[in-house]
Amino acid sequence: MAVSVPRVPLPTRLRVAWLLGAVAFLVAAVALGVAVGPVKLAPGEVFRSLIGLLPGVDGPDGLTDTQTTILYQIRLPRVVLGGLVGAMLAGAGAAYQGVFRNPLADPYLLGVAAGAGLGATLAIIGRAAGLTAEAVPVAAFAGALAAVGLTYLLGRTVGDRTATTLILAGVAVASFFTAAQTFVQQRNADTFREVYAWILGRLGTTGWSEVGTVAPYVVVSGAVLLAHRRMLDVLAVGDEEAATLGVRVGRVRWWVVAAATLGTAAAVAVSGLIGFVGIVVPHTVRLVAGSSYRVVLPLSFLLGAGFLVLADLAARTVLAPSELPIGVITAFFGAPFFVLVLRTSREEI
Amino acid sequence: MRRKLTLTLALAVVLAACGGGAEPPASTVPPETSTTSVSTTTTTAPTTTTTVDDGFPVTVAAANGDVTVEERPVAVVSLSPTATEMLFAIGAGDQVVAVDDQSNYPEEAPTTDLSGFTPNVEAIAAFEPDLVVVSFDPGDLVSSLEALGIPVLLQPAAVSLDDVYAQIEQLGAATGNLAEAAALVAEMQSEIDRIVASVPDRDEPLTYYHELDPTFYSVTSSTFIGQVYSLLGLESIADPADTDGFGYPQLSVEYILDQDPDLIFLADTKCCGQSPETVAERPGWSELTAVRSGAVIPLDDDIASRWGPRIVEFLGVVAEAVATLEPVG
């Protein structure tokens, strides 16, 4: 299971050019995401309206009241949320791959998705018993943490306490939670549509409140993960080797997993299950820019944000004014793109 | 892809899995007088019985082909909430022994934990039914029951009011309540005509947004419920969004705000706790014409998603909402 992800990483530093490129990509994605949508807003007027927010700049824009509402209450928060969720999923994916030395690791590896799914399903069904819509993200978050907590407990008490044991415990816990979720859902067939909509992932109904909910987790989690980027490079040589180099492997793993899980749980709670971002973005970074976590982590955050903003743009516009589940977009466009990167790259994964 | 398929299937099931209750049966005409003026897909087979001529055996043309019922059924199982409402509305309620877990109307319906979505043939057979009505066949339900010698009527979600009338008459024929069924159909038709006539014509059609759930799934004018709205001259804002012709597109919220529909109908009050108040609190929605003019109308999810006799009630609610809007200017 513990396939060597990177060879011993080259002493790669994060080159300024890469960083600037990633920032430029994110800015372009956000600009596009704000300018384009199912309702046509003149990009020039949008730009003028946004500039008008700056202190000292005053000028009328040509947007109607409805258009202003659409821009600030619907489109902008959705773009920002897409960026936060994308950054979190890609960053957490990179961190999981590093800490488990497994290229297939994604943020849902230890049961986050299954736990959140069970929590969300219970909350959606609980509506009939008086729960409000606000309970869904809370329940999803709690379910995600419960599943990963259980995985961690199992992984520590069973077997040899290696990364592989933890992954296998995650597989067992995820299967169990998925079974429970399916059972509960089957017993309440009338909530199918809502449960499935949640499972497929969606940024659609969000306003600024979701942004406020998820942002603190993304910031804290991102800071912890970035602080461990060098440790992840050392871990790449193997647990025992890292230990001989003075790294407290168990502790590093705990911190990284805890931070990545907390951030992922928050992201999943507001957006549902959006697949593939945590795999395709970090690997693309590795193939293009190098496999040191000093490069992979920061670039994954930036590119993940841009990628999901673009994916959501497609989800909003491809069938406009109808919507597509964003999970369909991330896989449909992400997979071929990833194959392209794999084919054209000479790097090994 | 599989997920998309699953979603589509789930949608179809959810849309099909809800049904309603009834106008009171208005007739005491004996079942044998089975001539009706309404067009019907049912046929009464000639009988050679020497004793009481109760019309049986009958052959009914349902969605699963011609179904022959040998004797007047006394143990009907309904796995369709809509069929349950229809059966009770045509006076066949005392012939019904079990209905599925979603059949919540009328109250006296013998609800069991049978599932219409994941039906179990053994559990159904345990009620020893002499007629089973379903709206959905997950694969082999109809054939399995027929193999046990149990006649099954498959009555899928109606796509038009004529389907509704035909299904009511099928149930009437199959349960020996054809006259009551015909009377119910006639009453529904005249009531619908009356409601439609009570709504004045407009030069500009009113637009509406019918909300199936808080993720903005809606209906187009081509769906069954959409056709009912069309009777009153209403136009769905979801029509341009239905690129694949499925009838139940998921709208983007930007689009809803931009369209600014005259009326908003909430068919997610029971499932999802939505109300005019929660709609007004959504970001950006408070500016909508319908929200400001109080034209956000909560519906009974069940009535709005079934195609039973209570569709007349639904039409009445919609007509009332239209009437309270500004008069034609």
Q: Identify the band that residue A247 occupies on the pLDDT scale cut at 50, 70 and 90.
A: confident
pLDDT for residue B1 is more than 60: no
The answer to whether A200 contacts B273, with C-beta atoms less than 8 Å apart, is no
Residue pLDDT, tens place only, A105-149: 888 888 888 999 999 889 888 876 777 767 888 898 999 999 989
How many angstroms away from the CA of A45 is the closest CA of chain B?
Answer: 17
pLDDT value of residue A270: 87
A-chain CB neighbours of B282 within 8 Å are: 207
A65 close contact with B: CB closer than 8 A = yes
Closest chain A residue to the Cα of B288, Cα to Cα: A66
Q: What is chain A's length?
A: 349
Closest CB from B10, B240, B253 relative to A192 = B10
Q: Which residues pair with B133 in a beta bridge?
A: B78, B153
Q: Which residues pair with B263 in a beta bridge?
A: B208
Give the mean pLDDT of B15-30: 40
> Best residue in A190, A198, A205, A271 to probe B by mutation, most B CBs within 10 Å?
A190
Give the mean pLDDT of A95-101: 89
**In B, what residues contact A, Cβ < 8 A?**
3-4, 6-7, 10-11, 13-14, 17-18, 102, 115, 117-118, 212-217, 240-243, 249-255, 257-258, 260, 270-273, 278, 282-284, 287
pLDDT value of residue B316: 95
pLDDT for residue A50 is more than 60: yes
pLDDT value of residue A345: 67
A264-303 residues labelled b (16+ CB within 10 A) or e (exposed): bbbbbbbbbbbbbbbbbbbbbbbbbbbbbbbbbbbbbbbb
Interface of A with B in 289-348 (CB under 8 A): 316, 319-323, 325, 327-328
Give the mean pLDDT of B154-164: 94
Q: Report the C-alpha gap between B110 and B125 in whole angstroms.
A: 16
Closest CB from A189, A200, A325 relative to B13 = A189
pLDDT for residue A77 is more than 80: yes
Q: Which residue has the higher pLDDT, A206 or B284?
A: B284
Give the mean pLDDT of B39-59: 57
What residues have CB less than 8 Å from B317, skipping those under 6 apart? B297, B299
CB B219 within 8 A of CB B210: yes
What residues have CB less than 8 Å from B264, skipping those under 6 apart? B208, B209, B211, B279, B288, B290, B291, B295, B296, B297
B-chain CB neighbours of A328 within 8 Å are: 3-4
Residue pLDDT, tens place only, A269-305: 888 888 889 989 998 898 888 888 999 999 999 999 9
Q: Identify the band that residue B26 occupies on the pLDDT scale cut at 50, 70 and 90.
A: very low
Give the mean pLDDT of A214-234: 93
Report ipTM (2 d.p.): 0.72
How many angstroms away from the CA of A203 is the closest CA of chain B?
Answer: 10
Q: Which residue has the higher pLDDT, A22 or A290?
A: A22
Measured CA distances, A96 to A149, A222, A327, A334 (Å): 15, 13, 20, 19
Q: Identify the band that residue A159 occupies on the pLDDT scale cut at 50, 70 and 90.
A: low
pLDDT for residue A319 is more than 90: no
**Phi and psi torsions of B48, nearest 5°:** -115, 10
Q: Report the C-alpha gap between B19 and A256 in whole angstroms.
A: 51
The answer to whether B252 contacts A321, with C-beta atoms less than 8 Å apart, is yes
How many angstroms away from the CA of A200 is the closest CA of chain B?
Answer: 8
Give the mean pLDDT of A53-68: 74
pLDDT for residue A57 is more than 80: no
pLDDT value of residue A336: 86
Closest chain B residue to the Cα of A37, Cα to Cα: B254
CB A322 within 8 A of CB B252: yes
Compute, in degrees rounded to 10, the torsion defined by CA atoms A301, A82, A178, A152. 30
CB B256 within 8 A of CB B237: yes
The answer to whether B214 contacts A194, with C-beta atoms less than 8 Å apart, is yes
pLDDT value of residue A126: 82
CA atoms within 13 A on the CB side of B9: 12
B-chain CB neighbours of A183 within 8 Å are: none
pLDDT for residue B96 is more than 90: yes
Q: Outline where A236-346 has alpha helix (H).
A: 239-244, 249-271, 277-289, 293-317, 326-344
pLDDT value of residue A74: 86
Closest CB from B6, B215, B270 relative to A205 = B215
A220 close contact with B: CB closer than 8 A = no
Q: Which residue has the higher pLDDT, A272 or B179?
A: B179
Average pLDDT across chain A, whole number? 85
Give the mean pLDDT of B163-184: 95
Residue pLDDT, tens place only, B32-45: 444 444 444 444 44
> Best residue in A34, A63, A74 to probe B by mutation, most B CBs within 10 Å?
A74
Give the mean pLDDT of B93-113: 93
B-chain CB neighbours of A189 within 8 Å are: 13-14, 17, 102, 115, 117-118
Query: Nearest Cα to A83, choosing from A218, A200, A213?
Result: A218
pLDDT for residue B3 is more than 60: no
Cα–chain center distance at A296: 15
Q: Outline where B17-140 has alpha helix (H).
A: 81-89, 121-125
Looking at mean pLDDT, say which of A205-209, B86-90, B111-115, B137-141 comes out highest: B86-90
Q: Report the C-alpha gap between A347 and B148 in whole angstroms.
A: 63
| Percent residues over pLDDT 90 in chain B | 62
The answer to whether B7 contacts A197, with C-beta atoms less than 8 Å apart, is yes
Q: Which residue has the higher pLDDT, B156 or A348?
A: B156
The answer to whether A204 contacts B273, with C-beta atoms less than 8 Å apart, is no
B-chain CB neighbours of A131 within 8 Å are: 273
Give the mean pLDDT of B139-148: 89
Give the mean pLDDT of B167-179: 95
pLDDT value of residue B21: 37
pTM: 0.77
> Best residue in A199, A322, A324 to probe B by mutation, most B CBs within 10 Å?
A322
How many angstroms away from the CA of A188 is the closest CA of chain B?
Answer: 9
Average pLDDT across chain B, whole number? 84
Residue pLDDT, tens place only, A134-143: 788 889 899 9
Cα–chain center distance at B318: 16
Give the mean pLDDT of B79-106: 95
pLDDT for residue B11 is more than 50: no
The answer to whether B215 contacts A70, with C-beta atoms less than 8 Å apart, is no
Query: Nearest Cα to A119, choosing from A302, A317, A268?
Result: A268
How many angstroms away from the CA of A323 is the closest CA of chain B?
Answer: 5
Residue pLDDT, tens place only, B262-310: 999 999 888 778 899 999 999 889 989 999 999 999 999 999 999 999 9
pLDDT for residue B51 is more than 80: no
pLDDT value of residue A291: 85
How many angstroms away from the CA of B272 is the closest CA of chain A?
Answer: 6
pLDDT value of residue A205: 63
pLDDT value of residue B43: 46
Q: Report the C-alpha gap between B32 and A259 in whole angstroms.
A: 75
A64 close contact with B: CB closer than 8 A = no
Closest CB from B13, B212, B214 relative to A205 = B214
A45 close contact with B: CB closer than 8 A = no
A69 close contact with B: CB closer than 8 A = yes
The answer to whether A193 contacts B242, with C-beta atoms less than 8 Å apart, is no
